[in-house]
Amino acid sequence: MLKKDLGLLILILVVGTVVALLNPRFVSQINVANTANLIGLFGLFAIGQGFVIITGGIDLSVGSIFALLGVIFIDMIGLWGVPWPVAFLLTILGGVMLGGLHAFLVTRMKMQPFVVTLCGLLIYRGLARWYTGDGTAGFEFGQSFPALEWLTMGRSPIPYWLPESWGGPGFFPMPNSFIAFIIVALIMGVVLHRSVYGRYLFAVGKNEEAARYSGINTRKVIAAAYLISGLLAGISTVYFAMYTRSISPASHGNFYELYAIAAAVLGGCSLRGGEGSVLGIVLGAVLLQVLQNLVNLLGIESSLNFAVMGGVILIGVIADQQLVKYRTRKANERKRALGHGALSPVAQQEK
């Protein structure tokens, strides 16, 4: 675990404790389960975003992908009678294809990721609104898909143990979305931190030229990050569609890419590329939802929601930078004492 991740965990625990003291409902089973559900929903695609950010790119299109693929998904199972597993797979495939399109434009046409995915953001949402006639896609009254609903919005009982005075042992209704998120996070954590591809991803994000000199196919590595982001956006599409059960493309998923970017940045991803960890992104996603929850529970005007989020990210990043500076200074002092050359604070900050 990196120092950065540890700091984030401590921050979450401190914020959590304060909120719990101010409003005990924060730790009620129902609130924890609801927050976990939201963490799962918003965390899933944040991991893909993190991969893209590690390449030095960005994916602004995910929120619009939720709208476009979402309305098609709802129509597939609600209107056209496509079996839901097939529709689920087709939606994931759609996400992968859109990711592939971004990858092509970024790596082959040499376009800037910001521009490519910004156009995606505009185009996909526009198409979704046009497709629904600027209306809403939803299920017929009484339509239900029990297996799919269990998979996405269902709960699995997880046994836990507490002393009798705290209510005793029992079962916690863990949202399946959160379980899916943890499974994906574990897989992607292994991919990023243990696999050859993960090492290549960092190598390319840190210094693309040196990676090329080491024989890495940098284009493939970058393209794969967009494919992964598209894949996870495809999975998330289904989760969000089943969460809202009806989609008005004009607002569905609006700004969600920013939640993902915020989670990744909070989690230690540098927008310059080459840095980040899956654990950090997971913790970033947790903190964001805790903050949202805090706004509700502490009776803060809900219109201040974004302001609180922005403020905390800003303070977090400033604190982190100051800490790095401080550590560099200490390290340099130690080095000087030993008679070694000092590191420049700039070079250190890049880390």
Partner 1 sequence: MGEPNQPFLELNAISKTYPGVVALNDVSLAVGRGEIVGLIGENGAGKSTLMKVLGGVIAPTSGTIKVDGREHAGLTVNDAIKSGIAFVHQELNLFDNLDVAGNVFIGREPLYGGPLKLLDRKKLHRQVQPLLDKLGVDFASDTLVADLSLAQRQLLEIAKALSLDARLVIMDEPTSSLTLSETERLLGVMNDLRADGVSIIFISHRLNEVKFCADRVVVLRDGRMVGGLDRTEARPEAMIRLMIGRDLKSLYIPPQAPPGAPALEIMDFRTTAFPNHPVSLTLRRGEILGLAGLVGAGRTELARAVFGIDRRLGGDLKIDGQAVGIGTPRDAIDRGLFLVPEDRKQSGLHLDFSLTENISLPDLVRYAPGMLISGAAEGKNAEAQKRRLNIKAFDVATVAGTLSGGNQQKIVLAKWLSMKPSIIIFDEPTRGIDVGAKSEIYQLMRNLADAGVAVLMISSDMEEVIGVSDRMAVMHEGAISGFLERDRFSEHNVLQLAVGKRLDREGHLN
Residues lying near partner 1 in the complex (CB under 8 A) are found at 190, 194-196, 199-200, 202-203, 206-207, 209-217, 274, 341, 343, 347, 350-351
- Say how far apart CA 328 and CA 306 lie, in whole Å: 33
Q: How far is the CB of 256 from partner 1 (least distance, A)?
A: 31
Q: Which is nearer to partner 1, 188 or 309 (CB)?
A: 188
Q: How far is the CB of 347 from partner 1 (least distance, A)?
A: 7
Instruction: Give the SS3 label for residue 110.
Output: coil
DSSP 73-85: HHHHHHTS---HH
Q: Which is nearer to partner 1, 25 or 325 (CB)?
A: 325
Q: How far is the CB of 344 from partner 1 (least distance, A)?
A: 10
Which of 207, 202, 259, 324 shows the shortest CA–CA distance to 63? 259
Which helix (H) or strand (E) segment holds residue 146: the answer is helix 146-153
Q: Which is nearer to partner 1, 155 or 206 (CB)?
A: 206
Q: Which is nearer to partner 1, 6 or 331 (CB)?
A: 331
Q: How far is the CB of 113 from partner 1 (least distance, A)?
A: 21
Q: Give CA angle at 233 (228, 239), nearest 5°.
A: 135
Q: Which is nearer to partner 1, 80 or 213 (CB)?
A: 213
**Residues 234 and 43: beta-carbon distance below 8 Å:** no
Q: How far is the CB of 350 from partner 1 (least distance, A)?
A: 7
Q: Rg (Cα) of the chain, in Å, rounded?
A: 22
- Say how far apart CA 351 and CA 333 lie, in whole Å: 19
- Say how far apart CA 241 and CA 86 lie, in whole Å: 15
